């Protein structure tokens, strides 16, 4: 299947819907791990494929190194989704997701922060992949 911008946007909408559903039921103030378990359950309810808490491979000058880099959730093998339960998302969080996207060669990333009255969502795009879309 060829991935289109429309498909990525629809998938993004669905992922954000899962996060909103979790936040609606739990509200702010819990640990990230709690939100992740519920978020994964919502993905399952909607029939979305995912993997969670997997290592990000680090290739340094042709050598595979174990750097203990780990993403939260990868949805449909396309969108790196990082879940947070913190006061505020900082530029370093965005940089980490962009790095994971580059290392995993994924076109899109989403940061979701549950630790607020109204859920915060930041959507990140890979410049490399955006040049290849139709």
Q: Please count the helices (runs of H) and the strands (runs of E) in the chain.
A: 4, 7
N- to C-terminal Cα distance for the chain?
13
Full-model pTM = 0.90
pLDDT for 131: 44
Q: Of 69, 53, 57, which is closest to residue 103 (Cα–Cα)?
A: 57
In order of start, what are the domains of the chain with their CATH numbers? 5-130 (3.40.1350)
pLDDT by residue for the chain (134 residues), tens digit each?
688 889 999 999 999 999 999 999 999 999 999 999 999 999 999 999 999 999 998 989 999 998 889 999 999 999 999 999 999 899 999 999 999 999 999 999 999 999 998 889 998 888 655 545 44
Q: How much is the pLDDT for 43?
A: 98
Please tell me the predicted confidence (pLDDT) of residue 11.
97
> Whose CA is closest to 78, among 55, 110, 53?
110
Task: Answer for the pair 15, 83: CB distance below 8 angstroms, yes or no.
Answer: no
Task: Give the dihedral of Cα atoms 45, 51, 52, 56; nearest 10 deg.
Answer: -160
Enter the tokens of residue 60. Answer: 């340094």
């Amino acid at each position: 299947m060829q991935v289109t911008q429309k498909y990525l946007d629809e998938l993004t909408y669905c992922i954000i819907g899962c996060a909103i559903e979790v936040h609606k039921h739990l509200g702010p103030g819990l640990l990230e791990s709690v939100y992740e378990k519920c978020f994964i359950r919502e993905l399952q309810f909607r029939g979305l494929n995912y993997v969670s808490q997997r290592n990000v491979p680090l290739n340094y000058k042709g050598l595979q190194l174990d750097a203990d880099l780990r993403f939260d959730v990868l949805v449909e093998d396309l969108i790196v989704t990082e879940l947070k339960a913190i006061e505020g998302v900082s530029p370093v969080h965005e940089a980490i997701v962009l790095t994971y996207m580059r290392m995993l060669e994924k076109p899109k990333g989403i940061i979701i922060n549950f630790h607020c009255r109204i859920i915060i969502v930041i959507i990140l795009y890979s410049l490399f992949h955006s040049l290849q879309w139709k």
